[in-house]
Amino acid sequence: MRIPSSNPQAQQSFANPFNGAGSGIIRSGLGAYGERFLGSSSEFMQSNVSKYFSDPQYYFQVNDHYVWNKLKVVLFPFLHRGHWTRIAEPVGGSLAYKPPIHDINAPDLYIPLMAFGSYVVITGFSLGLFGKFSPEALSLQFTKGLAGWLMQIILLKGFLYSLGRESPLLDIVSYAGYAFTGMSIAVMAKIFWSYSYYFIMPWVCLCTGVFLVKTMRRVLFSGPRSYEHASRCHYLLLFIAAAQFPLFFWLCNMSNT
């Protein structure tokens, strides 16, 4: 069978129009979907996502400085010298909270998302070191982490609902996701030295508990104050802090998966 030796000159002259035509065909073939997903991406995100949530753009206005300091606040909440209230500024007649860049106490979604990703990757690592890694196990860990996040959201939302306060859903998602930073640190410490698990884990649970309690107190008292349910409020806050322990132990325990 004769193998055609391609004539490079002939190929060169036809390369450019084919290239354009080929990609044009593929692009136009995608049709309506092409315009939607391959076109202006930022506008697509803005218009569609903000219908269901409260402007997720607000939660991503972060920079390196904010991220670093917020991590310090989440992991060592008792070292935070300043106050815990969010700074509000009058915008268009009503009060709006300042974005995370300007306010260390504002919730953001970048850290929880990254912490969740780190949690999945680090638990994958530790699964591998125990010899139990498989892509299915990693997907299982991912789902487990999502379930834990959801449980945390339900806990916080239930807490606020029982005390009659409202808060935007994404705020709660963000506060719930901060727990994953501690979890990632705990699992990473376990990889390097297995005995560290026994003191880093309670420490991290405690820190997340304290952080959540302080934040929830601020969320509770940000509106009109009512002292009727003071004792119920305190018991529920204590319950939130105590509930971190089983949650962390369930999510970070690798030996039974």
Interhelix angle 169-177/179-192, rounded to 10 degrees, is 20
Nearer to other proteins, 194 or 231 (CB): 194
Residue 47 burial (10 A CB sphere; 0-12, 13-18, 19+):
exposed
- CB atoms < 10 A from the CB of 27, how many? 12
Binding to other proteins by residue 31, rule CB under 8 A?
A: no
Question: Do residues 99 and 174 lie in contact, with contact meaning Cβ atoms separated by under 8 Å?
Answer: no
Nearer to other proteins, 127 or 243 (CB): 127
Question: Do residues 177 and 116 lie in contact, with contact meaning Cβ atoms separated by under 8 Å?
Answer: yes
Residue 153 φ then ψ, to 5°: -60, -45
Collapsing DSSP to helix, strand or coil, 50 comes out as coil
Binding to other proteins by residue 21, rule CB under 8 A?
A: yes
Q: Spell out a b/e string for 109-122, using b for 16 or more CB atoms within 10 Å of the CB, else e.
A: bbbbbebbebbbeb
- From 53, 67, 165, 254, residue interacting with other proteins (rule: CB under 8 A): 67
Nearer to other proteins, 45 or 87 (CB): 45
Binding to other proteins by residue 15, rule CB under 8 A?
A: yes
Binding to other proteins by residue 53, rule CB under 8 A?
A: no
Which helix (H) or strand (E) segment holds residue 137: the answer is helix 135-162
Question: Do residues 249 and 201 lie in contact, with contact meaning Cβ atoms separated by under 8 Å?
Answer: yes
Binding to other proteins by residue 57, rule CB under 8 A?
A: yes
- From 71, 75, 104, 114, residue interacting with other proteins (rule: CB under 8 A): 114
Nearer to other proteins, 60 or 239 (CB): 60
d(CA 68, CA 49): 27
Binding to other proteins by residue 138, rule CB under 8 A?
A: yes
Q: Which of residues 149-168 bind other proteins (CB under 8 A)?
A: none
Nearer to other proteins, 118 or 196 (CB): 118
Binding to other proteins by residue 26, rule CB under 8 A?
A: yes
Interface residues with other proteins (CB under 8 A) are 1-7, 10-11, 14-15, 18-19, 21-23, 25-26, 37-42, 45-46, 56-57, 59-64, 67, 109-110, 113-114, 117-118, 120-121, 124-125, 127-128, 133, 135, 138
